[in-house]
Amino acid sequence: MGGSLARKDRTRAALLLAPAYLWLTLAVFLPLSAMAFFSLLSDVPFGDREWHVTLDNYRAFLETGTYAALLWKSVKLGVTVTALSVLAGFPCALVLAKVIRGRAREAMFLLVILPFWSNSLVRIFSWAIVLRGNGVLSAAIDAVLPWDVRVNLMFSPTAIVIGLVHSYLPYVILTSYLALQAIDDSLIEAARALGAPRRTILMRIILPLAAPGIVAGAVLIFVPVVGSFMEPRLLGGRLGTYYGTVIEDQFVAVFNWPLGAALSFILLAVVLAILAAASPALRRALR
Amino acid sequence: MRKLLLTSALILAAQGASADEIRVLNWQGYGTDLDWALAAFTEQTGHTVVHEYFTSEQEMLTKLRTNPGAYDVVLINSAYTAQAQAEGLIAPIDTAKITNFADLDPGLTGNADLNPAGALHGVPWTWGLTSIAVNTNDFAELPTSLSVLWDPAWTGRVSIRDDGLEAVQFAAMATGQNINAITDMEAVKEKLAALMPQITTFWSSENDWNQFMSAGDFAVATYWSGSAARSQAAGLPVAFVVPEEGAIGWLDGLSIPASSTHQDAAHAFIDWMVDPEFYVKWEPDGAPATSNTKAAAALPETSFNRAVLGDPAVVAKVQFMQPVSDADREAYLKLWQDLKAAQ
Q: What is the pLDDT of residues B86-138, one digit of tens each?
A: 999 999 999 999 999 999 999 899 999 999 999 999 999 999 999 999 999 99
- CA B203, distance to chain mean position in Å, is 21
**Are B199 and B333 part of one and the same domain?**
yes
**Are B234 and B295 part of one and the same domain?**
no
Per-residue model confidence (pLDDT) at position B14: 47
Burial A47-84 (b: 16+ CB within 10 A, else e): eeeeeeeeeebbebbeeeebbeebbebbbebbebbbeb
Q: Who has greater pLDDT, B260 or B233?
A: B260
**Are B132 and B105 part of one and the same domain?**
no
Q: How far is B234 from chain A (nearest CA, A)?
A: 21
Question: Among B69, B77, B89, B88, which Cα is nearest to B21's?
Answer: B69
Per the CB < 8 A criterion, the answer to whether B48 and B19 are in contact is: yes
Residue B271 in domain? yes
Query: Which among B196, B200, B337 has CB closest to A155?
Result: B200
Total structural domains within chain A: 1
The dihedral over CA atoms of A14, A16, A20, A23, expressed in degrees to the nearest 10, equals 80
- Least reliable range by pLDDT among A178-192, A260-274, B311-325: B311-325
Cα atoms in the 13 Å half-sphere on the side-chain side of B327:
0
Total structural domains within chain B: 2
**Are B79 and B186 part of one and the same domain?**
no
Structural domain range at position B178: 128-248+321-341
Substitution target from B162, B198, B201, B212 for chain A, most A beta carbons within 10 A: B201
Return the amino acid letter for B103: D
Residue A118 in domain? yes
* B208 CB-near residues (< 8 Å, 6+ apart): none
Residue A178 in domain? yes
Arithmetic mean of pLDDT over chain B: 90
Per-residue model confidence (pLDDT) at position A116: 79
Residue B316 in domain? no
- Least reliable range by pLDDT among A1-15, A128-142, A270-284, B188-202: A1-15
Per the CB < 8 A criterion, the answer to whether B21 and B38 are in contact is: no
Binned at pLDDT 50, 70 and 90, residue A2 comes out as: very low
**Are B184 and B333 part of one and the same domain?**
yes
Residue B63 in domain? yes
Substitution target from B198, B332, B337 for chain A, most A beta carbons within 10 A: B337
Residue B115 in domain? yes
Most confident of A129-143, B253-267, B297-311: B253-267
Binned at pLDDT 50, 70 and 90, residue B194 comes out as: very high
* A246 CB-near residues (< 8 Å, 6+ apart): A67, A70, A263, B337, B341
Per the CB < 8 A criterion, the answer to whether A227 and A243 are in contact is: yes
State the Cα–Cα distance between residues B329 and B16, nearest whole angstrom.
52
Structural domain range at position A126: 65-286
The answer to ipTM > 0.90 is no
Q: Are A246 and B202 in contact (CB < 8 Å)?
A: no
**Are B42 and B168 part of one and the same domain?**
no
CA angle B312, B315, B316 (to 5 degrees): 90
Cα atoms in the 13 Å half-sphere on the side-chain side of B282:
27
**Are B95 and B183 part of one and the same domain?**
no
Rounded to a whole number of angstroms, the CA Rg of chain A reads 24
H or E element at residue B256:
strand B247-257
Binned at pLDDT 50, 70 and 90, residue B3 comes out as: low
Residue A139 in domain? yes
Q: Which parts of chain A fold into alpha helices (H)? A: 7-24, 30-38, 56-63, 65-94, 103-117, 120-131, 136-144, 157-181, 185-193, 198-200, 207-226, 230-236, 243-252, 257-277, 279-286
Residue of chain B nearest A243, judged by CA positions: B341
State the Cα–Cα distance between residues B76 and B98, nearest whole angstrom.
18
Residue B65 with chain A: CB contacts under 8 Å: none
Is pLDDT at A251 greater than 50 in this prediction?
Answer: yes
* B84 CB-near residues (< 8 Å, 6+ apart): B61, B64, B76, B90, B121, B255
Per-residue model confidence (pLDDT) at position A1: 45
Per-residue model confidence (pLDDT) at position B269: 96
Arithmetic mean of pLDDT over chain A: 88
Per-residue model confidence (pLDDT) at position B8: 53
* Long-range Cβ contact pairs of A251-257 (< 8 A, separation 24 or more): A253/B162, A253/B163, A254/B333, A255/A44, A256/A44, A257/A38, A257/A44
Within 10 angstroms of residue B278's Cβ, the number of other Cβ atoms is: 24
Output the pTM of the full model: 0.82
Binned at pLDDT 50, 70 and 90, residue A175 comes out as: very high
Q: Are B217 and A154 in contact (CB < 8 Å)?
A: yes
Angle between helices A257-277 and A207-226 (to 10 degrees): 160
Is pLDDT at A6 greater than 80 in this prediction?
Answer: no
Per-residue model confidence (pLDDT) at position A87: 96
Substitution target from B137, B155, B162, B204 for chain A, most A beta carbons within 10 A: B162
Residue A112 in domain? yes
Query: Which among A236, A240, A246 has CB closest to B337?
Result: A246
Residue B217 with chain A: CB contacts under 8 Å: 132-133, 154-155
**Are B194 and B111 part of one and the same domain?**
no
Q: Are B338 and A241 in contact (CB < 8 Å)?
A: no
State the Cα–Cα distance between residues A274 and A283, nearest whole angstrom.
14
Give mean pLDDT, residues A36-61: 84
State the Cα–Cα distance between residues A37 and B241, nearest whole angstrom.
48
The dihedral over CA atoms of B82, B83, B84, B90, expressed in degrees to the nearest 10, equals 40
Is pLDDT at B204 greater than 90 in this prediction?
Answer: no
Q: Who has greater pLDDT, B257 or B4?
A: B257
* B103 CB-near residues (< 8 Å, 6+ apart): B274, B276, B292, B293, B294, B295
**Are B101 and B145 part of one and the same domain?**
no
**Contact residues, chain A to chain B, C-beta under 8 Å:** 64, 66, 69-70, 132-134, 154-155, 236-241, 246, 249, 253-254
Q: Are B202 and A238 in contact (CB < 8 Å)?
A: yes
Residue of chain B nearest A239, judged by CA positions: B343
List pLDDT tens digits, range B127-181: 999 999 999 999 999 999 999 999 999 999 999 999 899 999 999 999 999 999 9
Per-residue model confidence (pLDDT) at position A255: 78
Instruction: Check which CATH number belongs to the domain holding B7 and give it.
Output: 3.40.190.10
Residue A6 in domain? no
- CA B219, distance to chain mean position in Å, is 26
**Are B134 and B49 part of one and the same domain?**
no
Residue B168 in domain? yes
* B219 CB-near residues (< 8 Å, 6+ apart): B134, B135, B138, B139, B154, B157, B158
**Are B334 and B210 part of one and the same domain?**
yes
Binned at pLDDT 50, 70 and 90, residue A256 comes out as: confident
State the Cα–Cα distance between residues A159 and A235, nearest whole angstrom.
6
Residue B315 in domain? no
Residue B199 with chain A: CB contacts under 8 Å: 237-238
Q: Are A254 and B200 in contact (CB < 8 Å)?
A: no
Instruction: Check which CATH number belongs to the domain holding A200 and give it.
Output: 1.10.3720.10
Q: Are A249 and B337 in contact (CB < 8 Å)?
A: yes
Burial class (CB in 10 A: 0-12, 13-18, 19+), B244: exposed
Binned at pLDDT 50, 70 and 90, residue B302 comes out as: confident
**Are B83 and B154 part of one and the same domain?**
no
Residue B80 in domain? yes
List pLDDT tens digits, range B47-88: 999 999 988 888 899 999 999 999 999 999 999 999 999 999
Residue A154 with chain B: CB contacts under 8 Å: 217
The string of DSSP letters for A78-118 reads HHHHHHHHHHHHHHHHHIIIII--THHHHHHHHHHHHHHHS
